[in-house]
Amino acid sequence: MKIIVGLGNPTAQYHGTRHNVGFSVISELSEQYNIDMSGRKHKAVFGKGIISGERVILAMPQTYMNLSGESVRELLDYYKVSPEDMIVVYDDINLAVGRLRIRKKGSAGGHNGMKNIIKHLGTEQFPRVRVGVGEKPRQMDLADYVLSRFDKTELEAIRQGCTDACHAISLILKSGIDEAMNQFN
């Protein structure tokens, strides 16, 4: 079993923001693979299903971004899944809008949601799929930027990025992370 966690913030006010790209990818996966996301437990909205022949749990922590590790820790403990069998999907301001970067492990890179997950798990040894949301304008506060929505010129690129992230996750499950890294990085 694999757990796929998309990072974001709960409530409608954050829907469609740059910081909620992880939620967008999980929503798209649930639609593509007909996975019911009505579960409410472990401080998350979640669903169980099959992707590329692998049993999966899709999860969207409801703790707000900076406390994502609380939910992730509960999910891994309850389902007895190791961090290496989890994939975290989240936004990255260091990548162009819609661009992907897949890694087997690594630091938080300044991302507060990832910092909290690493803190709660005590390891950086887990796969992640980062989806680019574009670089912050110099004059703009980082928090304001990641909580902003995509403009009209960016919408197609971010939609394609979310679709590519779904394909990458499917490929990770089917053929392994190295194959996905070769194809999408």
- Cα–Cα distance, 158 to 14 (Å, whole number): 16
Q: 42 catalytic, yes or no?
A: no
User: Rg for the chain (alpha carbons), in Å?
Assistant: 15
Q: Among residues 41, 47, 105, 46, which one has the least CA distance to residue 74?
A: 41
146 neighbors 17 (Cβ within 8 angstroms):
yes
CA triplet 179, 96, 72: central angle to 5 degrees?
60
Q: Choosing from 15, 19, 42, 167, which is the catalytic residue?
A: 19
Question: Does residue 39 sit in helix, strand or coil?
Answer: strand
- Cα–Cα distance, 5 to 151 (Å, whole number): 26
- Cα–Cα distance, 185 to 174 (Å, whole number): 17
32 residue type, one letter: Q
44 neighbors 60 (Cβ within 8 angstroms):
yes
Residues noted as catalytic: 19
